[in-house]
Amino acid sequence: MNQHPRRRRSMSRNQTIKMKWGYYAELTPETLAAIRGLVPVAYLPWGALDWHGPHLPFGVDGLIAQAVAERVAERVGGVLLPPTWWPVTVIPHPDSLAIRSDIMQMLWGHAFGRLASAGWKVVVVLSGPAAHGHELVLIDAAEKAIRQHGLLVLALPPLAIVDEAMLDHAALWETSLMMTLYPDLVHLEALGHRPLNPASSAVVGRDPRGTASASLGKQALAMAVEQISRAIRQLLTECNATPSTRSMPTGGPFSVPTSNATGRGPSMRGRGPGGKMCAAKPGDRLGGRSQGGR
């Protein structure tokens, strides 16, 4: 069972400092600086300990975000920070854990600020939680970091870049991703045979019974990794532009890249109040609750 980050093989010191990506927690200062000089991208997988029904573990959001981040980092380069497990909104359940939005805002702000001061130019937040309250806090913190530190921030749920219709909760797509990434943690038989009620099953979206599969999850994972990688490369191009020539997507630099109609790579589109750029927001249909609120 692949519950832990995929570990790299043993390397000599000379091999290590030539790496283009790695796990932040495992890197020496010399190697960290070398990676930053090559690819100044930091990945923040954001998870939750949130009820995902009787068939999936509480950590689905973070497990998926971490797995996607690893694969993107392998392709593009950069450093992968450990997952954070505290969301603002969760599905109601005694064992779902969340924190107040002001604490989350402070945490995001400090994380972005410290990464910027260390010399990272692009921050990629792969946010497993996609509920509206969580998203709003992330947007606010990212926009402050953009204004104060000049960071380029890409923040989105992993599947949002493929198709926002794939943003479900404990349903077809999340279950399929877990079946390809962590098959030993999926127990579809626990859902039984009765019709599913979101309030009692946490399944919001297409019924995973008889539809979810490791093959489907593998396809979704590949598409997400490919399109997120493409979007990051575009941001790195922006990073290398001078301030006078740098152009950001319409609406602001906090962006969700999506495949454009021409098939020529990612375009950027904005959503949200005031035309702000933001992640996809399925919060209303997930029915998340906030502990502390905004």
220-263, pLDDT tens digit by residue?
999 999 999 999 999 998 777 544 333 333 333 334 333 333 33
pLDDT over threshold 60, residue 213 = yes
pLDDT (tens digit per residue) in 42-69? 999 999 999 999 999 999 999 999 999 9
Is residue 129 very low, low, confident or very high in pLDDT (cuts 50, 70, 90)? confident
Using alpha carbons, select from 159, 156, 179 the residue that is nearest to residue 43.
156
Instruction: Tell me the domains of the chain and their CATH numbers.
Output: 24-243+264-290 (3.40.50.10310)
Highest mean pLDDT among 26-40, 152-166, 235-249: 26-40
What pLDDT is attached to residue 48?
Answer: 94
| CB of 147 closer than 8 Å to CB of 112 | no
From 8-12, 25-29, 105-109, the region with the lowest mean pLDDT:
8-12
Report DSSP letters for 132-198, one per residue.
Answer: HHHHHHHHHHHHHHHHHH--EEEEE-TTTTT-GGG--BSSHHHHHHHHHH-GGG--GGGG-SSPP-H
